[in-house]
Amino acid sequence: MSCRTELSSWQALEKSAAALQSTHLKALFAADAERFAKFSCQIPGVLFDYSKQLVNDQVVAQLLQLAKECDIAGWRNRMFSGEKINFTENRAVLHVALRDRSGRATMVDGVNVTAQVNTELEKIKRFTEQVRSGNWLGYSGKAMTDVVAIGVGGSNLGPQMVTEALKSYADNTLRVHYVSNVDGVQLSHALQGLNPETTLFVVSSKTFTTSETMTNARSAVEWLLAAAQQQTAIAKHFVAVSTNLEKTRAFGIEDENVFTMWDWVGGRFSLWSAIGLPIALYLGFDAFIAVLEGAFEVDEHFCQAEDAQNIPLLMALLSVWNTSFLGHTAQAILPYDQALHMLPAYLQQGEMESNGKSVAFDGQTVPYTTVPLIWGMTGINGQHAFYQYLHQGNNIVPADFIASLEPQIKVGQHHDILLSNFFAQTEAMMAGVDAEAVTKDLTAKGKSADEIAELLAHKIHQGNRPTSSFILDKVDAKGVGRLVALYEHKIFCQGIILQICSFDQWGVELGKGLASAIEKELFDDAVTNPHDSSTAGLIAYYKARRQ
Ligand code: F6P
């Protein structure tokens, strides 16, 4: 397979990037009254506007040609049909099968995975109803009031992000708490005020070996047993989501209380599986299904829409354009909806763990920047923190702005005030403020010519900062499902275009291995490993002073 830089569309895009460097977005808008109509598209529940990206007709056509030359359609079919496209781990990539509401069968190694998914969904339904109705009883015969979900990375971020996004719809049947950090402070805070008799732990770990999760789970057992004083309490208060039955058994969890996972579901794409169990417990099974339905709508769109109207494909192409061609190495995620406050953290894992790599399918180092650094927070809070950098910093950071037509809770005029900021910020980033406008403004405010000369450069905003805007109907269960699936398919397309193996994460393993060796040094002074002088010095400093 040839390197992407040899494709004719890639080479044409390089020329377009050089030509467009001196073009201002403001001029593109001035030259084309139809720009919004031309560079925006809609699916039920989502408007996507990319007219404030630094593209013109020619660039969009070249990007769509790039998608063709990279055979996105072929790769998409391979993924959906269960081919083992995660070739570094020899696995299929089938998170889409977890939310396939069509009833069609998907086969992996001769096994109908759709049937397996449906069986597991039934199990989630039964369990959720049992716990929420008060029929699941703890060691002292009481119903559950609280769920503590223990897991990290893909076994935490998705469910927690969705739980936060949908908490306006919770009926308070159960409270849900998340523990991901091995810093004991988080577990202690989560357990504060909880009653061991009425607390259910969901330990989510695909492997059931992740050190942070297992440490938290063991401490949770100690907390439970200190009150229960009977080993049998573990089975009544712990369930697991895992592929590793041997380990869950050894932990004391009964097989029937283990929700299964499959190797064809990557951790960061797993919220649609039993990893989403805390969502179902918190909001009810129907709400969980609605999240899957929203995602399935987007799967259908991704498979069926023309390339020029295909939102995830366009998102990926624009990211590649901004990063690999225009050289913008960061990307901000800016939700103007408090419900989505965890989305930036969630997408950090989604995009950076998937595509934050630098070798192509063939193992050769790629000659282009792959994915940007993903960061962000809710837009309004960001405005009062880092937007200064977005407007006037000397690095350009393309941004995704996300808002909703309808707030989850209507309070006076809050939503219009929120949305006025959403509209104003993308307009300001696009247009900026030139010297003439600043001079006019300062003159109107009565400033002298000397004062204006002193202030002018500081008040100019260059603008020309690319943004995409998303307007969701509402952040409800379907809306969250749609939004996450859009980004998942963006990540998939990005990986194919950049020739990155999106579904492994070898880069996470190195640190894990070193940490477990150092752990032994910290527990036992007799154990020492060779280190560089900095690491050795830091370890020695810590060991000499720790309490
Ligand atoms: O962060 C690395 C990672 O392997 C993620 O991909 C995964 O989601 C997470 O660790 C947790 O793994 P597990 O579910 O096996 O505990």
Per-residue pLDDT at 2? 67
The fraction of the chain above a pLDDT of 70, given in percent, is 100
Q: 204 CA to middle of ligand 1, Å?
A: 10
Do the domains 102-289 and 4-32+42-83+291-430+463-498 match in fold?
Answer: yes
pLDDT band at 527 (very low <50, low <70, confident <90, very high): confident
pLDDT band at 439 (very low <50, low <70, confident <90, very high): very high
Give, using CA atoms, the residue closest to atom 3 of ligand 1.
153
Q: 476 CA to middle of ligand 1, Å?
A: 27
Task: State how far Cα 450 lies from the chain centre.
Answer: 50
Per-residue pLDDT at 352? 98
3-state secondary structure of 51: coil
Task: List pLDDT tens digits, range 21-64.
Answer: 899 999 999 999 999 999 999 999 999 999 999 999 999 999 99
Helix axes 477-498, 311-320, angle to 10 degrees: 50
Task: List pLDDT tens digits, range 168-215.
Answer: 999 989 999 999 999 999 999 999 999 999 999 999 999 999 999 999
Task: State how far Cα 402 lies from the chain centre.
Answer: 14
Token output for 352: 């950076």
The fraction of the chain above a pLDDT of 90, given in percent, is 97
ipTM score over 0.85, yes or no: yes
Asked whether the beta carbons of 330 and 372 are under 8 A apart, the reply is yes
Distances from the Cα of 344 to the Cα of 347, 348, 378, 431, angstroms: 5, 6, 8, 25
Phi, psi of 177 (to 5 degrees): -125, 145
Report how far residue 102's alpha carbon sits from residue 118's, in angstroms, rounded to the nearest whole number.
Answer: 12
Asked whether the beta carbons of 507 and 89 are under 8 A apart, the reply is no
Instruction: Confirm or reject: Cβ of 153 under 6 Å from ligand 1.
Output: yes
Instruction: Confirm or reject: Cβ of 155 under 6 Å from ligand 1.
Output: yes
The fold adopted by the segment(s) 102-289 is Rossmann fold (3.40.50)
Task: List pLDDT tens digits, range 343-369.
Answer: 999 999 999 999 999 999 999 999 999
Instruction: Confirm or reject: Cβ of 267 under 6 Å from ligand 1.
Output: yes
Report how far residue 290's alpha carbon sits from residue 296's, in angstroms, rounded to the nearest whole number.
Answer: 10
What secondary structure letter does DSSP report for 82?
Answer: T
Report how far residue 25's alpha carbon sits from residue 287's, in angstroms, rounded to the nearest whole number.
Answer: 42
Per-residue pLDDT at 1? 57
Q: Could you list the beta-strand ranges (E) of 251-313.
A: 258-260
Distances from the Cα of 52 to the Cα of 58, 337, 431, 473, angstroms: 15, 21, 9, 21
To 10 degrees, the CA torsion angle through 438, 442, 448, 449?
A: 10
The one-letter amino acid at 22: S
Average pLDDT, rounded, for the chain: 97
The residues annotated with a catalytic role in the active site are 353, 384, 512
Task: List pLDDT tens digits, range 217-269.
Answer: 999 999 999 999 999 999 999 999 999 999 999 999 999 999 999 999 999 99
Q: What's the start-to-end Cα distance of the chain, in Å?
A: 57
Q: Above 90 in pLDDT, residue 547?
A: no
Q: 181 CA to middle of ligand 1, Å?
A: 13
Per-residue pLDDT, averaged over 89-104, amounts to 96
Task: List pLDDT tens digits, range 377-404.
Answer: 999 999 999 999 999 999 999 999 999 9
- Degrees (nearest 5) of the Cα angle 467, 470, 476? 150
- Residues whose CB falls within 8 Å of the CB of residue 461, separated by 6 or more in sequence, listed in order: 391, 392, 428, 432, 433
Q: 151 CA to middle of ligand 1, Å?
A: 8
Report the half-sphere exposure of 244 (CA within 13 A, side-chain side): 14
Give, using CA atoms, the residue closest to atom 13 of ligand 1.
205
Q: Above 90 in pLDDT, residue 464?
A: yes
- Where are the chain's structural domains? 4-32+42-83+291-430+463-498, 102-289, 432-462, 507-545
pLDDT band at 298 (very low <50, low <70, confident <90, very high): very high
Per-residue pLDDT, averaged over 124-140, amounts to 98
Query: What's the CATH architecture for 4-32+42-83+291-430+463-498?
Result: 3-Layer(aba) Sandwich (3.40)
**376 forms bridges with which residues in the sheet?**
333
